[in-house]
Structure 1
């Protein structure tokens, strides 16, 4: 069982053909693996929880706790899974920093993609996830 998992959101991307304008990011703090999913700006807590089950739990197991990025509309549904939800605070930046770094990387890569083909950013997301997950991390080697 995982000790901590984090999630964050990246919004403000051009609308793709499916109507998505954002990315939800799940990071396993133990092995630094990231799981990404495209989302519309209307996604709610139930939608985030369903994506968490599909993208994170299915591949990594149920974590004991989750650190969120303090977005109120997403905080009420994780308790159903038997997982403790911890709201990030500024003094938890070392813990939550992993997702913030991943979000920054995603934003940089997608900004480059959007400059060339603005509405096709979501088609490149699996490759962005792959690049993130094969990168060597100093803490995991």
Structure 2
């Protein structure tokens, strides 16, 4: 659903051994839970070595960064996690430098952490366990760079209202997507033209394809699509 700023938001988050997942939620007018936005990403090499509660806090931190424009300055909102110790870990007198830095970030927000058993935290649990993120299931695994610069960049983009979400599928998913283009006449035509943008190639396209082609570009072997700047991010 589209975000309704007149209604309270809440966040669900979870972490597995290799990925984090999080979602921004609201209740609709009929009291049903609805998703406003959801995201997930692989953990960086160093993050995979974090203690379990740090991984859960990592998921919470990224959720607040990604959904900053909706949550910062909001009245008290709830964050649901399936790791009960988070409520006490954040109040421990013995904090690592990383934890102290994160707590300083969390202090910008007005939220309460609630425990939600894993069997009930289905959405965030599924996002953090995407098969295409699991290194045990990949024939070729590409780790995310170990630097932390993207955190601040992400927060800046979201604060400014810039839709700067970047998705980079890993093999074999990336190859499966590329192979599927040839099975679809519309995308196959666009792909062939972008590979060889000649006048005679363009002339062979149908009018609807020619009208749409300006929105497409190639990122290696994948097609990318440009949305209007006023489109609401999903």
TM-score range relative to shorter protein: 0.5 to 0.7
Match of 1:126 among 164, 167, 180: 167
- TM-score in terms of structure 2 length: 0.37
Structure 1 unaligned blocks of 5 or more = 12-21, 129-141
Match of 1:85 among 107, 113, 116: 113
**Count, aligned residues:** 110
Match of 2:35 among 31, 34, 37: 31
Deviations 1:16-66 (A, max 9, x none): xxxxxx3221111232522234341327377555433322324x4347111
Larger Rg: 2
Match of 1:57 among 61, 65, 68: 68
The 5 A counterparts of 1:1-141 are 1=5, 2-11=8-17, 22-29=18-25, 30-37=34-41, 38-39=43-44, 40=47, 41-42=49-50, 44=54, 47=58, 50-58=61-69, 60-62=70-72, 64-70=77-83, 72-73=85-86, 76=90, 77=103, 80=107, 81-89=109-117, 93=120, 96-104=121-129, 106=130, 108-111=131-134, 114-118=137-141, 120-122=142-144, 126-127=167-168
List structure 1 runs of 4+ shifted beyond 4 angstroms. Answer: 45-50
Counterparts of 1:50 and 1:112 in 2: how far apart (Å)? 23
Point out which structure has higher relative CO (alpha carbons under 8 A, 6+ apart): 1
Structure 2 unaligned blocks of 5 or more = 26-33, 91-102, 146-165, 170-234
Counterparts of 2:117 and 2:57 in 1: how far apart (Å)? 23
User: Which structure's residues are more often helix, by fraction?
Assistant: 1
How large is the Cα RMSD of the aligned pairs?
3.6
